[in-house]
């Protein structure tokens, strides 16, 4: 009896397997049979595809998607950026290395105001993604610079959504030109690192639409990223990864995004809510998320349509990937060629902030006293997942020497030994030094007096580093440390007494205070964190081999508290104390300022001066702007302006086009950036006419009451500026009729 029962049992199991395998045709995924494959997938297979996998196909990659061999679905590989591909440089059992190029960080790329340049950089970067066997680069990082102290600002572009969006779109196009994907992140309103997993950003619809979503809108429409990464934080009470209005209504229905949305790298309770909201992939992926999704499908909480919608998008993503196409990656990208791309990009982006008495360029044969511990420990890139494992980061000592300058050897030795002592102590204590300001070694005024006699010029490198997981502080970070201030004072006094000049290099990952000390020095060069070759680019600019053409993508305020958002930003650690859940600017951040961020605020309040305005940057030459013309087009305006090099050396000029719009029932910024361009290299006396086209939609402001973009009728002013505060030419045009574009009101608190 028993034997018969067992036989029956085996038979029925066999039948079960047979029927299920009979039901599954084991078809192989192709680009043109996604729906057939979808029909053939079991629920378990479908759910598995919606949750990240772990693997070691590419050591150091951030994450993976699951393979389903039965259906010819490969594992795909996701790895970090944005200043370059982030993977492990060495592998067990292989004597090959897997270094990647450390390109200029995003804030420096944005300082170029040159979309073509950004595309060139990321075409090279995307080649490393392809050749190292990665399918998606988890970049661009593109959250707005709401406040200068956000720890990840170096991974982001600007305080202005147009500049940020255009840079991100160019970044995406360049990377994806290699047949690999990108991930526009972190969507959205992830503007602080403090309590980043839980912070609730409370933002008005207008500020969201005009600022915090506008750059993503431009990037999605003009870059067409394969993926978007939802952020960790909440937005108006809901986790962004669970906010249907954000991930489906706005991103897909309004903007036409057709890729996949993945979470940032963390498991939250609301897996099911996230899947239903349109978050297709849960990274980094845990079994608990598969279990939750399976239970929800079986209970009907996730409908078959919702499940198939997300899985279809995953399959549409997978068929685009090099892994699906069986690309045989070489593991040998041309790093030498890419290093040159990185250097040229830094040269085209570095900003000259001050150049009194034409201190710069130097002649190139000067004896240089090179000051600052950062002249040795040069900040190529910030910290966290945005770091790149490069073979080498050039520092200022080697770059200035390579450029032909003679360095004061005593100082070279002094800073090298200070660095060696500091790092040895770190190793001993196991303490990762607070690298925001590698402690600046002291130098006696006597020593500086002697150096001022022995050398021709002083170059002082001030460094700041920061990154993922922590915001910067005001004390000893935004502000100079006491030792840095004393160093600058003593150098300034001693060298000026010898009628010699002082150059400061700001090798920083974010805005610092400059107003209180800039008058003590003769020149200031701002390379931000310029990547592995950036120190060479700085040296090239100091010796005049390159004429700087970068301009500020954000405002340098005089005081930190001049910035409206500073009142709702956790600028010191004290603010993180208090009852969990109720800590202002930590558990929740109220964006009281609305759209008054950066120049939008400073331009509207003439009583508040700034140290350096948005869009500011000097050159070794000068430019004149001709009379602009503005014509109405079928869909907006077309403006032209001619720029002439009126100086003695060749140079490039960034031209910024601002618009002042009639109110149309709204309170509007004094002016807003609506287009920008950059001349080619103009020889002395040469001119170039730049043309700008702006649609009526791009001129619109967002009206919360009607939940619509509105372009008012009436008189508009077009202002062409060398910065937001340095307008060189203006014109006007009339918008005969008002226009409106309604959108869904789905971003508020539910």
Q: Which residues contribute to the site for ligand GLC (CB under 6 A)?
A: 62, 80, 138, 185, 264-265, 385, 468
Cβ nearer to ligand GLC, comparing 62 with 203? 62
Whole-number minimum distance, CB 152 to ligand GLC, in Å?
A: 8
d(CA 631, CA 692): 11
Whole-number minimum distance, CB 230 to ligand GLC, in Å?
A: 11
Whole-number minimum distance, CB 646 to ligand GLC, in Å?
A: 44
Whole-number minimum distance, CB 30 to ligand GLC, in Å?
A: 30
The continuous run of DSSP H or E covering 126 comes out as: helix 115-131
Q: Is 479 exposed, middle or buried (0-12, 13-18, 19+ CB in 10 A)?
A: middle
> Catalytic residues, which ones?
264
Cβ nearer to ligand GLC, comparing 196 with 438? 196
d(CA 9, CA 454): 95
The continuous run of DSSP H or E covering 454 comes out as: helix 445-454
d(CA 492, CA 486): 10
Whole-number minimum distance, CB 233 to ligand GLC, in Å?
A: 10
Cβ nearer to ligand GLC, comparing 264 with 593? 264
Cβ nearer to ligand GLC, comparing 41 with 139? 139
d(CA 57, CA 492): 54
Cβ nearer to ligand GLC, comparing 62 with 352? 62
Tokens representing residue 728 in the block: 């060189």
Nearest partner of 589 among 243, 247, 246, 233, judged by Cα:
233
Cβ nearer to ligand GLC, comparing 278 with 467? 467
Q: Which residue has the tokens 């309604």?
A: 742
Helix (H, G, I), strand (E, B) or coil at 227: strand
d(CA 407, CA 399): 11
d(CA 140, CA 226): 12
Structural contact between residues 261 and 239, judged by C-beta atoms closer than 8 angstroms: no
Structural contact between residues 452 and 493, judged by C-beta atoms closer than 8 angstroms: no
Alpha helix segments (H runs only) across 610-664: none
Q: Of all residues in the chain, what percent are helix, strand and coil, respectively (each to 5)?
A: 35, 20, 45
Tokens representing residue 613 in the block: 């305005």
Residue with the shortest CB distance to ligand GLC: 265
Whole-number minimum distance, CB 570 to ligand GLC, in Å?
A: 18
Residue 43, by phi and psi: left (phi above 0), alpha (psi -120 to 50) or beta?
A: alpha
Whole-number minimum distance, CB 395 to ligand GLC, in Å?
A: 27
d(CA 564, CA 107): 21
d(CA 661, CA 668): 8
Structural contact between residues 234 and 200, judged by C-beta atoms closer than 8 angstroms: yes
Tokens representing residue 743 in the block: 């959108």
Whole-number minimum distance, CB 264 to ligand GLC, in Å?
A: 5
Whole-number minimum distance, CB 470 to ligand GLC, in Å?
A: 13
Whole-number minimum distance, CB 157 to ligand GLC, in Å?
A: 15
d(CA 57, CA 76): 9
Cβ nearer to ligand GLC, comparing 270 with 684? 270
Helix (H, G, I), strand (E, B) or coil at 661: coil
Q: Long-range contacts: 744-747, Cβ < 8 Å, 24+? A: 744/245, 744/249, 744/250, 744/253, 744/254, 744/707, 745/205, 745/707, 746/244, 746/245, 746/246, 746/249, 746/250, 747/203, 747/205, 747/208, 747/213, 747/235, 747/236, 747/243, 747/245, 747/246, 747/250
Cβ nearer to ligand GLC, comparing 54 with 298? 54
Cβ nearer to ligand GLC, comparing 80 with 131? 80
Cβ nearer to ligand GLC, comparing 174 with 382? 382
Contacts with 35 (C-beta within 8 Å, 6 or more apart), sequence order: 312
Whole-number minimum distance, CB 129 to ligand GLC, in Å?
A: 14
Cβ nearer to ligand GLC, comparing 185 with 728? 185
Cβ nearer to ligand GLC, comparing 265 with 567? 265
Contacts with 214 (C-beta within 8 Å, 6 or more apart), sequence order: 161, 162, 165
Whole-number minimum distance, CB 185 to ligand GLC, in Å?
A: 5
Q: Distances in Å between the alpha carbon of 466 and those of 94, 154, 669?
A: 33, 8, 31
């Amino acid at each position: 009896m028993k034997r018969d029962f067992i036989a029956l049992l085996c038979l029925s199991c066999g039948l079960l397997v047979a029927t299920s395998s009979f039901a599954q045709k084991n078809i192989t995924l192709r680009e043109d049979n996604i729906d057939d494959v979808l029909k053939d997938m079991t629920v378990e297979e479908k759910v598995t595809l919606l949750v990240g996998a772990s693997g070691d196909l590419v050591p150091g990659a951030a994450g993976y998607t699951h393979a389903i061999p039965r259906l010819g679905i490969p594992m795909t590989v996701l790895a970090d950026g944005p200043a370059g591909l982030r993977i492990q440089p060495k592998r067990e059992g292989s004597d090959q290395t897997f270094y990647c190029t450390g390109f200029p960080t995003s804030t420096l790329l944005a300082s170029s105001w040159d979309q073509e340049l950004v595309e060139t950089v990321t075409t090279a970067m995307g080649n490393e993604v392809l050749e190292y066997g990665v399918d998606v680069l988890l970049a661009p990082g593109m959250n707005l610079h709401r406040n200068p102290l956000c720890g990840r600002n170096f991974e982001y572009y600007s305080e202005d959504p147009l500049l940020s969006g255009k840079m991100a779109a160019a970044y995406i196009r360049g990377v994806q030109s290699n047949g690999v994907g990108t991930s526009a992140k972190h969507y959205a309103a992830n503007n602080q690192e403090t309590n980043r997993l839980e912070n609730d950003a409370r933002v008005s619809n207008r500020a969201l639409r005009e600022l915090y979503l506008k750059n993503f809108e431009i990037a999605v429409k003009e870059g067409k990223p394969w993926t978007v990464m939802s952020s960790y934080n909440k937005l108006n009470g809901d986790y962004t990864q669970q906010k249907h209005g954000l991930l489906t209504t706005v991103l897909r229905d309004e903007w036409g995004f057709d890729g996949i949305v993945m979470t940032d790298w963390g498991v939250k309770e609301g897996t099911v809510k996230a899947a239903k909201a349109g978050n297709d992939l849960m990274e980094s992926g845990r079994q608990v998320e598969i279990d939750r999704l399976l239970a929800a499908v079986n209970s009907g909480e996730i409908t078959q349509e919702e499940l198939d919608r997300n899985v279809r998008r995953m399959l549409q993503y997978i068929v685009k990937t090099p892994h699906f196409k069986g690309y045989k990656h070489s593991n040998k990208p041309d790093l030498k060629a890419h290093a040159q791309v990185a250097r040229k990009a830094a040269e085209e982006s570095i900003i000259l902030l001050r150049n009194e008495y034409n201190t710069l360029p130097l002649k190139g044969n000067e004896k240089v006293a090179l000051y600052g511990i950062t002249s040795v420990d040069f900040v190529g890139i910030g910290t966290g997942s945005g770091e790149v494992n490069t073979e080498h980061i050039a520092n200022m000592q080697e770059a200035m020497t390579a450029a032909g300058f003679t360095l004061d050897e005593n100082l070279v030795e002094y800073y090298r030994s200070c660095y060696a002592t500091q790092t040895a102590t770190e190793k001993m204590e196991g303490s990762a030094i607070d690298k925001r300001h590698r402690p600046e070694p002291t130098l006696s005024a006597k020593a500086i007096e002697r150096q001022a006699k022995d050398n021709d010029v002083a170059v002082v490198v001030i460094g700041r580093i920061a990154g993922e997981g922590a915001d910067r502080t005001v004390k000893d970070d935004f502000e100079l440390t006491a030792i840095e201030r004393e160093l600058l004072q003593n150098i300034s006094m001693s060298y000026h007494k010898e009628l010699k000049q002082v150059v400061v290099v700001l090798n920083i990952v974010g805005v610092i205070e400059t107003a209180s000390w800039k008058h003590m020095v003769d020149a200031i060069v701002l390379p931000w964190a310029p990547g592995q070759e950036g120190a060479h680019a700085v040296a090239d600019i100091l010796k005049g081999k390159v004429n700087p053409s970068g301009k500020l993508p954000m405002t340098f305020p005089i005081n930190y508290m001049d910035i409206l958002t500073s009142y709702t930003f956790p600028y010191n650690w004290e603010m993180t104390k208090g009852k969990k859940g109720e800590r202002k600017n930590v558990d929740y951040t109220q964006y009281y300022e609305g759209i008054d961020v950066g120049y939008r605020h400073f331009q509207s309040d003439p009583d508040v001066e700034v140290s350096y305005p948005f869009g500011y940057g000097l050159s070794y030459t000068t430019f004149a702007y001709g009379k602009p013309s503005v014509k109405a087009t079928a869909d907006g305006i077309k403006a032209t302006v001619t720029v002439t090099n009126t100086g003695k050396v060749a140079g490039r000029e960034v031209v910024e086009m601002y618009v002042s719009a009639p109110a149309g029932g709204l309170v509007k910024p004094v002016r807003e950036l609506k287009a920008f361009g950059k001349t080619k290299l103009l020889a002395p006396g040469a001119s170039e006419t730049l043309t700008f086209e702006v649609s009526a939609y791009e001129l619109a402001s967002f009206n919360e009451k009607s939940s619509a973009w509105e372009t008012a009728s009436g008189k508009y002013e077009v202002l062409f500026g060398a910065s937001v505060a340095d307008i060189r030419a203006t014109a006007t045009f009339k918008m005969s009729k008002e226009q409106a574009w309604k959108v869904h009101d789905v971003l508020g608190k539910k």
